[in-house]
Structure 1
Amino acid sequence: MSTPIDRARYLLLAGRPEQALQELGALPIDEAFGPPAMQVRCAALILLKRWPEAVEAARAGLAAGGPDPQLLLWLGQAEQEMGHPEAVEQALLGGLALDPGDVDLLCAYADLCVAEGQPDKAAQLVAHAAAEDPHAAVVFATRVRVAFALGDDREAERIGQEFVAAYPEDPYALALLGSANAVRGDARTAYSNYRQAAAAQPANEVLTDVAMEMRVAQHPLMRPLYPMRRFGPLQTWLAWIALTTLLRATGFRAVVLVLTPIWLLYCIYSWVVPPLLRRHLRRSLR
């Protein structure tokens, strides 16, 4: 006969964390705060993104059952979402002391290093994780994020392609590859990947919004804005200032006078066309 904890675990695996928590509520007090129940509770709270409660559940589980790599991982994840990097590092190092080869802990620590501006250390950690389990989804994903942090967009795209090849229906793999495509200037492929990711998770508003942005980006009316999309508005402005300064310094002031109104029209185009196009495409989907 199944117990409330067994049923809660099943509900958790079925993606129903709220119901898993309700099932745990049926436990007697002496079991409700035991290590098995606290592990399920913590996992459910992580899925629900209830970070402070997840921290409390993880700490309660650790206090009741002693050090546990999985609870320490969840504790680190919740603390990171709450913006407590020192607590994150303490939790992850505690987990790695128990299991140095745990790829989830290694990748979580690599993500922390990326967030703290230490991409080289992150690369070492994810390399260790890849040596342990090169085909794990979390390893692929972290390798892509670390490549972005190192400024190697080509490598990020290459790893993203490997990730999708290994997990062709994983929406996060498709989204990461879409991001790499976009950074590399391939808006059409980026839109295709994000569209598939959004179709796999229609309730995910972030994926849906990014897919729409990718659709806008690959529209023919956006082609003139490629420099701004590829290099960023600030870099494009700086390039314009450098060009006009050089032209003035070399005696081509007349050329600057001709180019200036063209540049102003280009700026107006960049301000007006994207929001109008976005509105038009959203209406066409209704």
Structure 2
Amino acid sequence: MLAASSAENSLMHRLDVRSKMLGFLVIIILTFLFQNPLYQLAIISGTVFLALAINIPLRKITGLIIPLLPIVISIILLTGFSYSPQHFVHLSNRKILFYLFPGKHIGATVGGFLMGTTFLLRIWSLLIASSILTFTTSLEDFTQFFQWLKVPAEVSMILTTAMRFIPTLDKKRSLILEAQMARGMNLHGKGIRGSIRSYVPIMIPLFINSIIMANSLSMAMLNRGYGLSQAWTVQPKKAIAARDLWAVTVIILLSFLALFVRFKLRFGLL
């Protein structure tokens, strides 16, 4: 209980939603700014440090990363063969390690594998950053942010409802998976078709449950008179605190530093 309360009172939790959205946007820009995986590793290290600082469970982080390993390995192999040597700036990255077919056809370049590693780290850093944002921001704050952006109330309702249902659907997925495994379901089918077929008994009940949940939600909204009046309740605007000004200043300075390193010093290229 003490750990939970201290985590909820962390600086990230107390920041204004606009400051956190700006930081999330900057992380997205930084991940696509650099091609070198060393710079991507620095970005993902920063996101992991923030995740540990606000006490996000390590199981949650590994649960996001491990299921994507087969996909990202395929991406690394694909980029290794799909990027030509002329695509890279540095000569060391133009080196061809081996050829897929005899006669020097379809060569695997060093830069191609490094680019695939960059894609891998980009996906992981964005996943961790989005987890930090949703873990430290309430749905009421997201609603206020959408109101600040002048998003229509109907669209804001759809977005916040979708975010509210994500953890519910994840719990239902876990329950369905445990129930199907108790019935002797095999998740390790042979080949791609076997893997897809093994997940059909999970996806079909999950889709049915999501439809039932959506129908129950629509009936509850109709019973409460949703849409009867065009007047919407507007949340009071929060004032920007001093900690938000400091956070925004640090974020902007880091952004200018990254732009200087990338475009002036021309670092981070392959």
> What TM-score does the superposition give when structure 1 sets the normalisation length?
0.20
Bigger Rg over Cα: 1
Which structure has greater strand proportion? Answer: 2
Give the number of the structure whose residues are more often helix, by fraction. Answer: 1
